[in-house]
Chain A
Amino acid sequence: EAGVTQFPSHSVIEKGQTVTLRCDPISGHDNLYWYRRVMGKEIKFLLHFVKESKQDESGMPNNRFLAERTGGTYSTLKVQPAELEDSGVYFCASSQGETVPKNTEAFFGQGTRLTVV
């Protein structure tokens, strides 16, 4: 079974440019989460999709970040325009529905390392 996949694995862009990150969750997982780890700091929650709906987007830092999950399958996270402080590793995770015990955990992708120069 394929795991959570993220694309690209690395991205280097200039300040002011736009970047779109993609996450393909594990097939059948309704829940999809985005997290970000800025260099030297802890991993922070960005948002949570249940199927195509945004369940919780309280962690999104500002309106330069836009996440979508059309059709409830893969998700994209767009940063426009990118700023220097957006550099970090962006993780995507997926999990099954709430009826499944929590200890089945969320599965993480390898992350996209974004560098804004």
Chain B
Amino acid sequence: GQNIDQPTEMTATEGAIVQINCTYQTSGFNGLFWYQQHAGEAPTFLSYNVLDGLEEKGRFSSFLSRSKGYSYLLLKELQMKDSASYLCAVEGNSNYQLIWGAGTKLIIKP
């Protein structure tokens, strides 16, 4: 079957760094996305990885290892507004038939 695992909830301190992991097992792989979703709002795009390695974009970085079926989202200099759910999604065989993880709820404390 197809499966994406990520921790249910994480807590971090304002100004710190947090790493959210995602492991996947899918029948195909065309890329991995990270989305941020604030409560009651639509998911918003953070990053897209299709090749192995680290993609840096401001305070957020995303890493992919295709051989290990593993990705992480790294958030630096955490701000209170970063409190949200972070969703890992894999594009399998079809264009944008995204397979979603259940999301990681990130709680930022002062």
A: residues with CB less than 8 A from B are 4, 31, 33, 35, 41-45, 48, 55-56, 58-59, 91, 93, 95, 98, 102-103, 105-111
Contacts and interface: CB of A to CB of B under 8 A. Distances in A.
Nearest to B35: A108
B95 A105 contact: no
Given A105-B33, A105-B48, A43 B96 contact: no
Contact of A43 (B45, B87, B95): B87
B102 interface: yes
B48 A43 contact: no
Closest 6 CB pairs of A and B: A105-B45, A108-B42, A43-B100, A103-B48, A42-B102, A42-B100
Contacts of B4: 42
B104 to A, nearest CB: 12
Nearest to A108: B42
A17 to B, nearest CB: 25
Nearest to B97: A45
A41 B97 contact: no
Contacts of B44: 108
A31 B96 contact: yes
